[in-house]
Each structure stands twice: as structure tokens, then as C-alpha cells.
Structure 1
Amino acid sequence: MSAITPAFARATLADRLTGRIGRSTLARDAALVVSGAALMSGLAQVSIPMFPVPITGQTLGVLLVGLTLGMRRGGLALVVYGLVALAGAPVLAGHQGGLSSLASPSFGFVIGFVPAAALAGLLAERRWDRSVVTALAAGAIVTIVPFLIGVPWLAVSLDRLGPAVWHGEMGAHSVLQAAIAGGVTPFLLGGLVKAVIAALVLPSVWGVVRRIDER
């Protein structure tokens, strides 16, 4: 029993739902990773076109993928998602894809999704996804991570585009102001809403799992 307990305690929701606690298989993990990347692709198309960064459902996808799959599979799912996008598959917002995406002002956020999903998975493995309070805290923390890469990437991109864009079109007095106005401010409320959704959904599913266990 002592050999099973640690694996059971660290089990993610995906482990519990597939009934494979402590018995990871390559095929199952690959299927979960691909499913996570596919979910990201679908939520990316739930978007509101904006310049320089569109509003999408991707942040919610990062939370769901990471908190459900765990650190390694969650992070890897986002790596697969980014590589598939760069390979040319139209999986980014607006059905975009290809190596030209690297020049996009918003691609830094896609890169930032990888450590964000891994962090979400790490917190899930420490049971942060099992109550509304801790899941909401996890969502708030994880939501910050993509900005740490996305905003500097956006600032560099806007600087490359020149004052005609960040001042003339966006009305900002500096590149940093434009990056914050275009890459942070519009996403604060939406990020909070997505964190709340994840904080309500995942503990609810865990509640169903616990009730099934009790029976």
C-alpha cells in the first residue's frame, strides 16, 4: 500500500479518469499530449481579432491542459502545439500558422504558454486543482506566466515596426506603453474569468471522482 499511495496522491485528473494511476504508458501519454494540443487549437479559434494581440480562449486551454495532464504532459502538449503551428498547421488564432508566425507580435505568448502549462501541472500534482480556492489561486498565478515572455516579445516587435505603428496607430508615447496597452490591459478581466471557470470546473470533476470512489 505504501508504494501506491505517493502515486495516488500525485495523480492528475487525467490519471484518475483513465484509471492508470502509477502505470504510465507511452501510448496513453502520447494520446493525452495530442489531445491537449488539439484543445489548444480549438480554443485558439474562439477569438476576437485585435491588434497587436487577439483575445482568444487559449489561456483557458493552458489552465485546463496543465491542471488536467500534469507538469510534463501539460508542458509537452504546449510544445507540440507550438511546433505544429510553426510547421504550418493553421492552429493559431485566425487559423494562422507557419514559420512566419515567429514574426507575429503575439507569438511570445505562445512560447509563454509552455512554462505556464507546466506550472499549472506542477500545482495540480500538489493537489491545487481539488478545491475552488486553491484552483483559483493556481489559475491566477499561471495566468501571469505568459505575460512574462509575451510582453517583452511584443515590445520588441512593436519597436521593430516603428513609431508609425506604436505611436501613430496605437497612440502610445513609448514602446513599453504600447506593449502594456496592447498586450496586458485588454486581457486582465478575461484572464480572471478564465481562472474562475477553471476553478469551478476542475474541483467539480474531482468531486464526482471522489463520490465514485466512495461508492
Structure 2
Amino acid sequence: MTTATFSPQHTRVLADLIPGARVRDVALVLSGTLSIALSGFIVIPLPFTPVPISLATFAVLLTGAALGPARGVSSASLYLLLGVAGAPIFGDGRSGWAFASFGYIIGYVVATLVVGTLARRKADRNVWATLGLAALGSLTIYAFGVPWLAVFLGVDFVTALAYGVIPFLIGDALKIAAMAALLPVTWRLLNRTGRS
């Protein structure tokens, strides 16, 4: 998991700017997991769907972009494994896997891979590319969350979309816009200080 050498195909992500190697990577993975878990506790239940609004998706996208694919996937996977093992770290203090929004949590792992890979290719350095990176990450989470929701509730795909996508589009648009502002600005600041 060391990231000591870089080729043009292996561009640095924000986490690579921190000195160290293995200890840094372990600390970053644990920090990513903690960030996802703490953000997951910020939930707004909606009366018309079993899926709450959560800041965890924003933390997942940022974790993937800032840590890169390997560390991002490790963070999201650790979050998933701890929750399945019984740690009450999912939204509303849940654990296990038998609940309507668990598919989204599976999607977190894949989304960190997608977003982290795109960040390695510098898709987090300008507004338009970051909009695409964040939108693709969000779609990846939905790609796992909606089918799980449909099966878990025993509803058709259109109903699952109504429960698991439509109510969250405005919030996701805000999260995507926030990422498109935050990441390129961070890179610009680092470029000015000569740290990138």
C-alpha cells in the first residue's frame, strides 16, 4: 500500500502530500473510516422512505478523492466490516446488514475506488472534472443502494427509485457542488505554496 514512487499514470492525491509511508497510510485509512462513521451519524429521517438523508455519502466521496483508490477502499471496507461485525457505526447507530439502506454502504466501497481512481488521474483539480468525479461517485452508490432497497422492501425498481433516489437528488447536487468547490481550491492553495 506504499505510495513512494509515482509515474505519469500514478498521479498524487492529497494524502500523498503527507510525509511517511506505512504509518501514514494506516493513519489515513483509520481517519477515513472515522470520517465516514461520524458523518453517518448526521442523519435526517424522512417519513416517506426508509432511507435517511446522511452526510456519509459526502464523506465517502471526499475520502476516495483525498486518499486515492487503495486507501479509500480500505477506509470504506473497514467501515463496512466493522458495522457488519456489530459495531453500531451505521446511520442511526445501526449495525449488521439486514436493513433497507445497507446496499448504499456496499456502494461506498466501490464509490471510493471510482472516485479515488479518477482523483489519481487529476479529475479533482478543476471544477468541471470534479463535478463529474462526484456525480459518478454518487451514481455508483445508487447503483448498489437501489437494487438492495428494491429486494429488501420487495418493491419494483420504479418504486425503489422513488424511495431511494428522488428524495436525495437536491442534497446530492449540493454535496457534488461542495466537492467541486473544495477540492480544486485545495489543490490551487497547495500549488501556490509549492506543496503539490
TM over 0.5: yes
1:49 CA drift (Å): 1.1
Q: Given the alignment, which residue of 45, 52, 57 partners 1:49?
A: 45
Hey, what's the Cα distance between the residues in 2 that align with 1:7 and 1:29? Answer: 21
Q: Partner of 1:149 in structure 2?
A: 144
- CA deviations 1:40-79 (Å, max 9, x no partner) are 0111111101331111001111110000000111111100
- Does the aligned pair in 1 maintain the 2:150–2:160 contact within 8 Å? yes
Within 5 Å, give how 1:22-33 maps onto structure 2: 25-33=21-29
Give the aligned partner of residue 83 of structure 2.
85
> Structure 1 residue 176: deviation in Å?
2.4
Identify the residue that residue 13 of structure 1 maps to in structure 2: 14
- State the Cα deviation string for residues 88-144 of structure 1 (Å, max 9, x = none): 2221111212x3xx1101100000110101110000000001111111111111110
Look at both structures and tell me which one has the larger radius of gyration over its CA atoms: 1
Aligned-pair CA distance for 1:7: 6.8
1:94 corresponds in structure 2 to 92
| TM-score using structure 2 length | 0.91
Q: CA deviation at 1:178?
A: 2.2
Q: Tell me the equivalent position of 1:183.
A: 164
Distance 2:75 2:125 in 1: 22
Does 2:119 align with 1:121?
Answer: no
Q: CA deviation at 1:4?
A: 6.1
Instruction: Provide runs of 4+ in structure 1 moved above 4 Å.
Output: none
Partner of 2:127 in structure 1? 132
Bigger share in helix = 1
CA distance in 1, matches of 2:150, 2:5: 49
Q: What is the letter of the counterpart of residue 11 of structure 2?
A: R
Paired residues in the alignment total 190
**Once superposed, what is the RMSD of the aligned Cα atoms?**
1.9
Q: Percent identity?
A: 37
Give the Cα–Cα distance (whole angstroms) in 1 for the partners of residues 25 and 150 of structure 2: 37
Shift of 1:147: 1.0
Structure 1 unaligned residues grouped into runs of 5+: 160-173
Corresponding residue number in structure 2 for 1:168: none
Query: TM-score, length-normalised on structure 1?
Result: 0.83
In 1, are the aligned partners of 2:107 and 2:144 still within 8 Å (CA)?
A: yes
TM-aligned CA deviation for residue 175 of structure 1? 2.7
